[in-house]
Amino acid sequence: MRQNLAEFLGTFWLVLGGCGSAVLAAAFPDVGIGLVGVSLAFGLTVLTIAYSLGHISGAHLNPAVTIGLWMGGRIGTKTLLPYIVSQVLGAIAAAAVLYFIATGNGNTVGDFAANGYGEHSPGRYSMAAAIVTELVMTFMFLIVILGATDDNAPRGFAGLAIGLALTLIHLISIPVTNTSVNPARSISQAIFVGGWALEQLWLFIVVPIAGAALAGLAYKYLKSEQA
């Protein structure tokens, strides 16, 4: 229960910090933080949780990460479902808090930082472009995570490497999909937007999981070759 609660709280913080910066601060008049600020916000959420709760649960904060680590042989099967449920619930709770805050000035939430493609992509990128982006970005994210947390990696720097990797991923891919690489983050925002966001949600569940699973297998192969 302590590990599951840590995943709930960590994912709550990721969605509240990352999506909150996009919804509340990205384009705020005169002092908006923009794409760079939102990218940093997502990276900072992972960085802070990695060093505060990582020793309890590993700070996955993402169903794709959990599945990728499982495919890479880092965690057992019994961890999968409890972690994923905790992550999704934490993300939804954060989205609910963000929704309450965002509608506090009488405005609607608009796109609510939901992920999308086609006309719902920030840059109007196609579904094919979105698939490639989410697949490659999640694959590389898991490669960084698996490598940074390896027993042979320098001690104490994993959180920094992972947080910066997520920042870089957002800098690259926000214009394409609003950046998912995390099904829990995508589910939570889509629930409150409804309509098109729910219709396109499949991509942001299936593709990040596929990218993470491929990375888990790839890193496992790299380690076997090293041995």
In which band, very low, low, confident or very high, does the pLDDT at 223 lie, cut at 50, 70 and 90?
Answer: confident
| Prediction pTM value | 0.95
Q: What does the alpha-carbon distance between residue 192 and residue 172 come to, in Å, rounded to a whole number?
A: 25
**pLDDT band for position 29 (cuts 50, 70, 90):** low
Among the listed residues 75, 13, 74, 1, the one whose alpha carbon sits nearest the alpha carbon of residue 44: 13
Average pLDDT over residues 144-170: 95
Position 227 confidence tier, pLDDT thresholds 50, 70, 90:
low
127-139 tens-digit pLDDT = 999 999 999 999 9
List of domains in the chain = 2-226 (1.20.1080.10)
* Cβ atoms of 192 and 109 closer than 8 Å: yes
pLDDT of residue 207: 98
